[in-house]
Amino acid sequence: MSDSVESSNVIKIPVDKLALGMFVTAIDRQQNKVDIRNPGQIKHRDAIVKLKKNNIAVVWVDIERSSDTCGLKKSDRASGSSNPLARKATSTRDGQQAQAKKLLAEAKGLIKKVMSETFEGKAIEVGEFEDVADKMIESVMADADAFKCISALRTKDAYLLEHSINVAFLLVTFGKHLGLDRELLKQMAVGGILHDIGKIKVDNEILHKPSRLTPEEFEHMKLHQVYAIEIMNDTQGLSQVSKDVCLMHHEKLDGKGYPNGLTEDQIPLHGRMSCIVDIFDALTATRCYKEAMSPAAAFKILLSLTPFHLDQKLVYEFIRCVGIYPVGSLVQLSDERIGIVWDSKGRDALHPIVKCFYSLKHKRYTDVTMIDLNKEEVYIERGVSPGALDVDPSPFY
């Protein structure tokens, strides 16, 4: 496979969504990428017809080498003088997203290192996690939206790392919403980053099984909390709050959770928060065996788990905190455009700024435009998950 096909500038597009000017580098033949001898821009509709006749359903397109008018590129107009809203949103967000991306990479690297060391029996150095937690809090205080957009770019193979970081980030965001003090937020973030540390000792085949676990396998999976207790006990300088977040995220208010079968009055606020956040992030992540759920669909499941499993008042607060259409999530507008919820500061949940890049009506990528729903006649029709669309939104974050 050529370097261009492996680069982040190349995306997979169904043939019926190809547009003139898109630069095709490879085709999908029997679910394998196959480089084509004459890669190039689609100049005529005949080329698309020919691909269809050859039973090619999917191709790989290089964004950088595609024309400016094909709708794939982050349009210059979107940041030019003709669109002050887009220019403002882009210039302020770019720097913050760069910082968020750096923080995410640092946190991933740290978790990877510590998991490896824990597997070898080494003790956890809490100070390193506190440094990352501090940076995470700074990021949320400065602009939580930047981190939300970066964390929306999830990869199936890094689920464990990204889930741990997202749980920490959501706990900080939720805690800030509830008015908790900074030191408590820091301890919760450390607990969030470490909350699945016990999975390092779970059988790899069960941990990464691409289908539903058998009852026996699920019992083995539950042991990750038993392993976590051992790891927590061996960790010096870890606060009780951090331990609680790690050891309580599978407990239930009715006492039927694990590892300790705690009841409602035994689970503190931060423990209840961790239960909600852990489930929400797992539901909205793409896994090897399931597509990501839209936040709205995940909220329905959270509510269905109250009051026996989750704290109902806290679930409603969490929904208020995250918002029905969170920044970074995909939405379909009433005119059938698809976009990313880009900015919601100082706005009600139904009228964010949406970064549109695709038209369902015309089945093609469009010029990137920022739509202020406070000023336009269109409205959000529904939240959507990337898997339901067969469209790759990642280049537009």
When comparing pLDDT for 139 and 268, which is higher? Answer: 268
Residue whose C-alpha is closest to residue 85's, from 375, 347, 327: 375
When comparing pLDDT for 195 and 38, which is higher? Answer: 195
- d(CA 246, CA 262) in angstroms, rounded, equals 14
Least confident range of 53-62, 160-169, 292-301: 53-62
What pLDDT digit, counting tens, does each position of 41-83 carry?
888 777 888 888 888 888 888 887 887 767 776 544 343 334 4
Question: Does 317 have pLDDT greater than 90?
Answer: yes
Query: 155: pLDDT confidence band, cut at 50, 70 and 90?
Result: low
Tell me which range, 36-40, 189-193, 202-206, is most confidently predicted by mean pLDDT.
Answer: 189-193
Question: Does 95 have pLDDT greater than 80?
Answer: no
What pLDDT digit, counting tens, does each position of 10-22 carry?
888 888 888 888 8
Question: Does residue 133 contact residue 248 with C-beta atoms inside 8 Å?
Answer: no
Give, for 356, the enclosing helix (H) or strand (E): strand 353-359
Query: 184: pLDDT confidence band, cut at 50, 70 and 90?
Result: very high
Boundaries of every domain in the chain = 3-73, 84-322, 330-396
Q: DSSP letter string over 116-162?
A: HHHHTTPPP-HHHHHHHHHHHHHHHHHHHHHHHHHHTS--GGGHHHH
Residue whose C-alpha is closest to residue 164's, from 223, 246, 219, 220: 246
Query: 147: pLDDT confidence band, cut at 50, 70 and 90?
Result: confident
SS3 59: strand
Q: Record the tokens describing residue 104, joined without a space.
A: 């995410």
Q: What's the mean per-residue pLDDT of the chain?
A: 84
Query: 85: pLDDT confidence band, cut at 50, 70 and 90?
Result: very low
Question: Does residue 174 contact residue 277 with C-beta atoms inside 8 Å?
Answer: yes
Averaged pLDDT for residues 290-297: 83
Q: Record the tokens describing residue 78, joined without a space.
A: 């979107």
- DSSP state letter for 287: B
Q: What is the pLDDT of residue 314?
A: 98
Q: What is the pLDDT of residue 88?
A: 45
When comparing pLDDT for 104 and 203, which is higher? Answer: 203
Q: What is the pLDDT of residue 81?
A: 37
- Distances in Å between the alpha carbon of 263 and those of 253, 260, 317? 5, 9, 21
Q: What is the pLDDT of residue 57?
A: 85
Check whether domain 84-322 has CATH 3.40.50.970, yes or no: no
Averaged pLDDT for residues 23-33: 80
Q: Is the peptide bond before 84 cis (omega within 30 degrees of 0)?
A: no
When comparing pLDDT for 382 and 43, which is higher? Answer: 382
Question: Does 25 have pLDDT greater than 50?
Answer: yes
When comparing pLDDT for 386 and 244, which is higher? Answer: 244
Q: What percent of the chain has pLDDT over 70?
A: 90
Q: What is the pLDDT of residue 279?
A: 97
Q: What is the pLDDT of residue 6?
A: 44
What pLDDT digit, counting tens, does each position of 348-369 carry?
888 999 999 999 998 899 989 9
What pLDDT digit, counting tens, does each position of 249-285 carry?
999 999 999 999 999 999 999 999 999 999 999 998 8
With 0-12 CB in 10 A as exposed, 13-18 as middle and 19+ as buried, what is 357? buried
Q: What is the pLDDT of residue 386?
A: 74
Averaged pLDDT for residues 1-14: 59
Question: Does 4 have pLDDT greater than 70?
Answer: no
- d(CA 206, CA 217) in angstroms, rounded, equals 7
